[in-house]
Amino acid sequence: MRRSVFITRCSILRRRRIEELPTRQDTSARKPIRSVAVMAGVALAFASVGVQLVRLAAKHADAPSVAINAPMATGTSRPDIVDRKGRLLANDVEMPSLYVDPQAVVDRDELVEKLRKVLPALNEQELRQALGDKNRRFAWIERGLAPQVAQQVHNLGLPGLGFRQELKRAYPAGQLAGHLLGGVNVDNRAIGGIEQYLDARGLVDPVLQAQATTRPAVLLSIDMSAQHALEAELANAVTTYGAKGAAGLVMDVNTGELIASASLPRVDPAHPSANPRPEEVDRITAGTYELGSIFKMMTVAMALDRRQVTPQTMIDVSEPIKIGRFTIKDHHAASGSMSVRDVFLKSSNVGAGRLALGAGADAQTSFLTKLGLTEQLSTDAGTVAFPVLPKIWGEAETATISFGHGMAVAPLQFAAAAAALVNGGSYVIPTFLKRSAGQKVESRRVISEQTSAALRKMMQANVVEQGGTGHRAAVAGVDVGGKTGTAEIAINGRYDPNAVIASFVAAFPIEKPRYLSLVLIYEPARTAASAGQITASRTAAPLTARLIERIAPLLGVATNRVANNG
């Protein structure tokens, strides 16, 4: 009985274990499921963070940030500047700049004393102030050091000093075309000239490091060889004639391209001044001057184009012109009448005045406006100085402007107008950038081809004939035409006959001009070389001859005759 009961209980317990076994198996099976769920949740969280990081990175991909413990100056990467033949005028070079961490300096006096031996121009006061501020971690000491100087500083082994590589503008040709190039500041940003054009047109790139640009070089219209010749001849003229300064340009009359442009004294584009001295300004673009008798080109062209006269028309020059308190007379008295041609060749103020008065103030104003001489001229190198016009444009002003007094313009602005008079009658805005082959040149007609041809014949006769004021500008083998100008300078409200601007404008080859040159000599002295005279005939005309003789072969102008320099 007991045995059967025991067996029965054992059977019941065995059956219970069998019945409970699946339940324990189900519990252990749920554990992996929970682990998977936890892992999936963690993976999802990481995925979410990853997606957010990718989104933020994509959003700010174009604006990377740099975390440093000292301020970093943002520099500028600039393209090369080359002349019309690809010769280098300006480029960026990588140079070390010296800085200091004031908190890392061990001995301030030692640092200052040792640096002064390597950097004599060091501003000791500013450096000591920077070192005294222990809240600062960064201060510039010297930007753009020469490598050998940087090595000397490095050899000092002074704690707290460091170098950062920066881009610095270099001008391999030195002072050549200094006014035109302009220059940059310590952050490689433009101060003026063509460099300013690059900034204004967005052709430069801000950089945080010394990273050279990938932009193509900027091609100027300037020819380095012609530029060198112009600067050399101007410098020689200053010495020869004891002048206070000189300026000149060479322009392609058909495209408006400046082949050369210079002003003396020269400036160094590597060390530009934001506030140049008066004598250091670019006289070609930044100064305005009464240019004297070269303005008679405009007066004669106006009279011819209005069909007011012909080259053979006789003009009464026997008496001075009197208008109110003003009296206009010629330097050399003439009797009777002279032709318009002779008015030009002999540079008669009275004859020019009568031509202008015959046309009237309105016609003169309209003609000069058409030539671009009464409004400010803008070029790719910047704006040109605004012309100085008379407040009242009456008879007196009309007469004096006819021979280049009473109105002041920048030489470049005058040259652009003169080019239109000799190239067949089309005005082209001057440019310092090379025009590509086949590029269409925008122009506007200002005079007829017949008027231009007649004026060119007078200009040629003025150089070829001994009676012309420009015969000393003749060049062997090159047909040159031109006009002299000797303008007295107003000092304290009165014109000084001993202080003049002597100028000469020339076109060559004159039958079908390709180039125009304009030279100006400021306040030449009475020297033996000029036979004791200060007139353009004795100074600016021979300067022009020497210049054209040098640059004509460079510009491919064929020689075809022998000149008589008389």
Which residues are catalytically annotated? 293
How far apart CA 558 and CA 544 sit, in angstroms, is: 17
pLDDT at 64: 44
pLDDT band at 277 (very low <50, low <70, confident <90, very high): confident
How far apart CA 207 and CA 322 sit, in angstroms, is: 66
Helix axes 124-132, 108-118, angle to 10 degrees: 150
**Per-position DSSP letters for 534-557, written without gaps between them:** -STTTTHHHHHHHHHHHHHHHTTP
Q: Greater confidence, 146 or 235?
A: 235
Best CA proximity match to 382, nearest among 83, 170, 181, 84: 181
pLDDT tens profile 362-373: 999 999 999 999
Residue at token pair 């080859």:
509
Q: Where are the domains of the chain?
A: 75-103+135-202+212-219, 225-554
pLDDT tens profile 29-50: 455 566 656 566 656 666 665 6
pLDDT at 46: 62
pLDDT tens profile 145-185: 988 999 999 999 999 999 999 999 999 999 999 999 999 99
Whether 356 and 401 have beta carbons less than 8 Å apart is answered as yes
> In angstroms, what is the C-alpha Rg of the chain?
39
Best CA proximity match to 485, nearest among 413, 426, 525, 544: 544
Residues 6+ apart with CB under 8 A from 4: none
Neighbour tally for 252: CB within 10 Å: 22
Where is average pLDDT lowest: 206-215, 231-240, 287-296, 534-543? 206-215
Sign of CA dihedral 312, 318, 323, 327: positive
Q: Which of 163-167, 210-214, 246-250 shows the highest mean pLDDT?
A: 246-250
Helix (H/G/I), strand (E/B), else coil: 283: coil
Q: Greater confidence, 403 or 380?
A: 403
Q: Greater confidence, 559 or 318?
A: 318
φ, ψ of residue 402 in degrees (nearest 5)? -60, -30
pLDDT band at 351 (very low <50, low <70, confident <90, very high): very high
How far apart CA 118 and CA 95 sit, in angstroms, is: 17
Whether 359 and 412 have beta carbons less than 8 Å apart is answered as no
Decide if pLDDT at 5 tops 60.
no
Q: Can you read off the two tokens belonging to residue 368?
A: 């000069």
pLDDT at 385: 96
Fold of 225-554: Beta-lactamase (3.40.710)
Best CA proximity match to 74, nearest among 191, 161, 204: 204
Interval 461-476 mean pLDDT: 95
Percent of the chain with pLDDT over 70: 85
Q: How far is CA 180 from CA 201, 220, 263, in A?
A: 17, 10, 9
Q: Greater confidence, 82 or 210?
A: 82
Q: How far is CA 68 from CA 138, 269, 546, in A?
A: 10, 33, 60
What CATH code is assigned to 75-103+135-202+212-219? Answer: 3.90.1310.10
pLDDT band at 222 (very low <50, low <70, confident <90, very high): very high
Residues 6+ apart with CB under 8 A from 101: 70, 137, 138, 160, 162
Interval 109-115 mean pLDDT: 93
pTM of the prediction?
Answer: 0.82
